[in-house]
Amino acid sequence: MRKKIVAGNWKMNKTYEEALSLVSEIDNMVKDEVNGDVTVIVTPPFPYLQSVGKLVQGNDKMHLAAQNVSEYESGAYTGEVSASMLKSVGVEYVIIGHSERRLYHHEDAQTLYKKMKLAIAQGLKPIFCCGEPLEERDADRHFEYVGQQLKDSVSYLSNEEFNQIVVAYEPIWAIGTGKTASSQQAQEMHAYIREQLSRMFDAEAAFNCTILYGGSCNPGNAQELFAQEDIDGGLIGGASLKSRDFTDIIKSF
């Protein structure tokens, strides 16, 4: 059975107080309104992880993720946060390969592979992001581009490691732009990703892999996106900063 997931990526937003009230609101709304079998993930900035984690501890639908993890195990890497540190404060998931990390922090495919391996070894579940820029889609090379991203980072995982990951398809032209991929565009890419994964790993594992859509997902378009055969939920940026919108997206399955 494929896990349904809605994950909110808060990025570099919210003060400590704002973060605590946001998560309390989400926690209450999820308790009151969400009946189905859905995993809700919140991804606050590093300094808030422990406090946010404590607030959602009693809610078995709510889970904690980090926005990044070091590719190194430990040692003299000023400013970095290791997988074991995240694990030790109750983090379960970690976003790896977000286009903003690839673009602004020059994270390459090999680095992303190393991050995934270390994270999995510590018992974390990577949410591996992939997705093409607008010029690749305009040139009709989007399948090739995303296929290569999977090949370069994901294909080196073992079958056991692959079972621990979630994939998020996030077309870069749709992130934070208000321009969503149509449900058809998203579905065909998700089906393609699943097909590629079934060539790299065993077919059952690929079938069971949760593949999220990300890119200007909101309460108005989530239902149609989530109804697609190969779309198992969403990775939500802007709309995850508003408890009402985020909860409405969670209720869109």
Nearer to ligand PEP, 26 or 235 (CB): 235
Question: Is 9 annotated to bind ligand?
Answer: yes
**Main-chain dihedrals φ then ψ at residue 58, nearest 5 degrees:** -80, 0
Q: What is the dihedral of CA 215, 185, 221, 195, to 10 degrees?
A: -80
**Interaction residues for ligand PEP, span 174-203 (CB under 6 A):** 175-176
Q: Kindly compute the dihedral angle of the four CA atoms of residues 119, 120, 121, 122, in this order, to the nearest 10 degrees.
A: 60
71, 31 in Cβ contact below 8 A? no
Phi, psi dihedral angles at 119 (to 5 degrees): -60, -45
Least distance CB 154 / ligand PEP (angstroms): 18
Active site residue 106: no
Identify the active-site residue in 100, 142, 170, 190: 170
Segment contacting ligand PEP by CB under 6 A, of 22-30, 69-77, 151-159, 209-217: 209-217
125 within 8 A of 93, measured Cβ to Cβ = yes
> Considering the complex, what minimum distance in angstroms separates the CB of residue 158 from ligand PEP?
27
Indicate the residue type of 206: A
- For residues 11 to 30, the per-residue mask of contacts with ligand PEP, x marking binding by CB under 6 A and - elsewhere, is --------------------
Contact 126, 165 (CB under 8 A): yes
- Which residue out of 98, 107, 136, 190 is catalytically annotated? 98
Q: Is 53 in the site for ligand PEP (CB under 6 A)?
A: no
Position of minimal CB gap to ligand PEP: 237
Q: Is 176 labelled a binding residue? A: yes
**C-alpha neighbours within 13 Å on the C-beta side of residue 29:** 17
Q: Which two tokens stand for residue 103?
A: 């673009």
Minimum distance from CB of 143 to ligand PEP (Å)?
Answer: 20
Residue 98 annotated to the active site = yes
CB atoms within 10 A of CB 148: 15
Give the one residue of 170, 230, 232, 245 binding ligand PEP; rule: CB under 6 A.
170
User: Which residues have a Cβ under 8 Å from the Cβ of 48 and sit 6 or more positions away?
Assistant: 14, 16, 19, 20
For residues 213 to 252, the per-residue mask of contacts with ligand PEP, x marking binding by CB under 6 A and - elsewhere, is -xxxx-----------------xxxxx-------------
Do 217 and 234 contact (CB within 8 A), yes or no? yes
Does 233 appear as a known binding residue?
no
Instruction: Compare residues 190 and 201 and give the one whose CB is closer to ligand PEP.
Output: 190
Residues acting as catalytic residues: 98, 170
Q: Which residues are annotated as a binding site for substrate?
A: 9-11, 176, 216, 237-238
Q: Which residues bind ligand PEP (CB under 6 A)?
A: 9, 170, 175-176, 214-217, 235-239
